[in-house]
Amino acid sequence: VFLGKSRSDWPCRDRMPPSPPVFDTAGLANLVGWAGTIGSLLLFSSPASTFAKIAKEKSTGNYALLPYTSGMLNAASWVTYALVTPDRVQTIVTNGSGMAIMVVWLVLYTRYSPNRGAVLAQISTIALMWLALTIMATQFIKEDSFTPLREGESCKTEFVGIFCIAVNIVLYGSPLSAVKQVMETRSVESMPLPLSLATTGCSLLWSIYATLLNDAWVGLPNYTGTLLGLLQLSIYAKYSRSQTGEARSVARSPDLEPLLYVKLV
């Protein structure tokens, strides 16, 4: 009987039992990454119900433009990031599809907006910002332009990555642009729930992805996005309950009894 304690002491090591499988972090990250891709597409598609209502009423009403312009700039910026960073096919597919979806929302918003001139001016500004970013990254930023913050990364990747982080944080926080109106009117009508849910879920998935791969560029905006998303949902929950309570109070109001009587008669 062989009593050696270490695997190196075993005779006939070529017949040793196989080592237990190591936890496949990269494989799990890839799986979460594809889930994040689906979540991103759901995020881009989440305003569908909002725009169905806008089309029905033929007006953008109190809905803000910022979530859609920031969404377009975010998708376009990550496409540029993928173009200057090797092996980012998944990023191009996700954000290229996102750009196409955002074009649809911006066309509809422009069509039903009472102030088309201002809307077109903002959209033009977003387009010029993306064009400037892409030209800078592809034509002017050289590999030795500055010392990369992370070893092994190119200057182009870091230049566009920093820009993407800023835009991502604006995108994830954009539904908060309606908070002031929500607090003043005590109504959540101007804060679309599907957009807030999709924003929170998407940022949470990419946060997990970034943690598994120790990727700071993906992690920073999505950690922030998760916190902002939870804040949005807490505000929605607070004022939707308040709105529901007020509606019930009005429904029980004795002042409405004559009106109900007349209607029923």
Query: From the CB of residue 96, how many other CB atoms can be counted at a distance below 10 Å?
Result: 14
Structure tokens at 201: 């879920």
Which pLDDT belongs to residue 63?
Answer: 86
Cα 246 → chain centroid: 32
- 242-to-188, 233, 246 alpha-carbon distances in Å: 10, 14, 6
80 has pLDDT over 80: yes
Query: What is the pTM (predicted TM-score) of this model?
Result: 0.68
Q: Please report the pLDDT score of residue 130 as a whole number.
A: 94
Residue 251 clears pLDDT 50, i.e. is over it: no
DSSP 224: H
- The torsion defined by the Cα of 74, 89, 215 and 99, in degrees rounded to 10, comes to 10
The pLDDT confidence band at residue 257, using thresholds 50, 70 and 90, is: very low
Would you place residue 74 in the very low, low, confident or very high pLDDT band (cuts 50, 70, 90)? confident
Instruction: Point out the least confidently predicted range of 56-60, 196-200, 227-231, 247-251.
Output: 247-251
List, as one string, the DSSP characters of 157-221. HHHHHHHHHHHHHHHHHGGGGGHHHHHHHT--TTS-HHHHHHHHHHHHHHHHHHHHHT-HHHHHH
Q: Of residues 225 and 129, which shows the higher confidence score?
A: 129
Tell me the C-alpha distance between 139 and 205, whole Å: 33
- pLDDT for 58: 93
Share of the chain above pLDDT 70, in %: 74
Between 5 and 69, residue with greater pLDDT: 69
> What would the pLDDT profile of 9-61 be if each residue is shown by its tens digit?
555 555 555 554 455 677 888 888 888 888 888 878 888 988 999 999 999 98
Backbone angles phi, psi at 226, to 5 degrees: -65, -45
- Helix boundaries (H) for 113-173: 116-135, 155-173
Determine the average pLDDT of the residues in 143-147.
65
Q: Which two tokens stand for residue 21?
A: 């499988």
